[in-house]
Structure 1
Amino acid sequence: MTPLAEQALARARKIFSPGADDRALTRKFWTAADEHRLAELYADTPMPELISVFGRPDYAIYGKAASMGLKRSAAYLASEHACRMRRDSNVGEASRFKKGQKPWNKGISFDCGGRSVETRFAPGTMPHNNVPVGTERVTDDGIRQRKVRDDGPAHRRWKSVHSLIWEEAHGEIPPGHIVVFHDRNTEHLVLENLELVSRAENMRRNTFHRYPPELKDTIRQLNKLKRAISEASDEKQDD
């Protein structure tokens, strides 16, 4: 990325950083015209320019492009603007560890002083809030989970019960797939109500584009009304 592009990206990100004006942080809904323009520009336009055109932070543009299935062109990926996305490049190679290189702190014991040695967890010690394997809980999204192990990272110790039910009948869930509920009722935990779908298919089912034209138009009109109310509220506060 060129210095000029980096400066433009830094200025754009500053607009959306914490502490910025409330209006800059107000959520902006994507209109059909926005989507059409993004589809035209995304393949070859550098991110700083996209931020300027759409008035949105880079993560919002990346997310929208992903949901629409948009990709960067081969020409863009080969250009200087692609930076770490650039194909056949080795960005950051100079700062990587070389094979056989030892870290500076290898073999150095760390001592915080005081009573730190006495109060450390001994190997194998479990925290006071640990629960036994088999315990179940319900997430904020209404998904029932069951603890399946005590070791490993926290996110691997729990597994959704509906996935366990499906795996018991059909085997391990293949990579890139998830188990969903036919009737969308997360409390209806029976095999007949479960379906294996790809993550891409699940995303398509849950996007705006799956709705019929009439409902899409209604949603757009509702979003316009929300924006108008928000703008009127801002103007009233300014007065």
Structure 2
Amino acid sequence: MKSRNWSEVEIEAMRLFYPDTLTEAFARAFDRPIGGVYAMAARLGIQKSAAFLALQVVGRIDAKHGKSTRYREGQPARNKGGPGSQSTQFKPGRRSPTWKPIGSERVSKHGYLQRKVTDTGRGKLDWIEVHILVWTTAHGPVPPGHLVTFKDGNKSHIALDNLELVSRTDLMLRNSVHQYPPELVAVMQMMGYLNRRINAKHR
């Protein structure tokens, strides 16, 4: 997947709030892998504040925290195959019992109808939401940082006139903030504020 450049809004939010906010919150708000958030923080020279690291929720109370569950050097992996495990492994060229042909449809755990469009064996590439296929057929690829949503909120009402393209930031701000954790709400609100400030600067 092609990497997505960081926007001015995201970088400013990182500088202001990353030191005192859970990294997972940024990853969810910006729709980025958590490793990418850590990498950008390193590039910007931003670190978590001492006060934040002292919080119990971070799981870094002291160097001994979690020591008993860590792997030791030379310790075999728990999921390493043991004697007789070869009998349960798939033979080369043999398909999984859950395999479906291209064109098959299923409902995802989030309630979206998906269609199999390729057979690479990688679920995120092979299965695409049908409403996205409908949108992209009519309008082309979905721009980075945007989502195709249902105007009436009904995920089963897949019709072009019921679909709209919205930015992830606008969608998060549009939804009730009460369903999100407090640290994510703070990031979302700040992103909206920074967007307005930057847009005003460029007018």
- Name the TM-score class by shorter chain: 0.3 to 0.5
The normalised TM-score by structure 2 is 0.47
Tell me which structure has the larger Cα radius of gyration.
1
The normalised TM-score by structure 1 is 0.41
Q: Which of structures 1 and 2 has the larger relative contact order (alpha carbons within 8 angstroms, sep 6+)?
A: 2
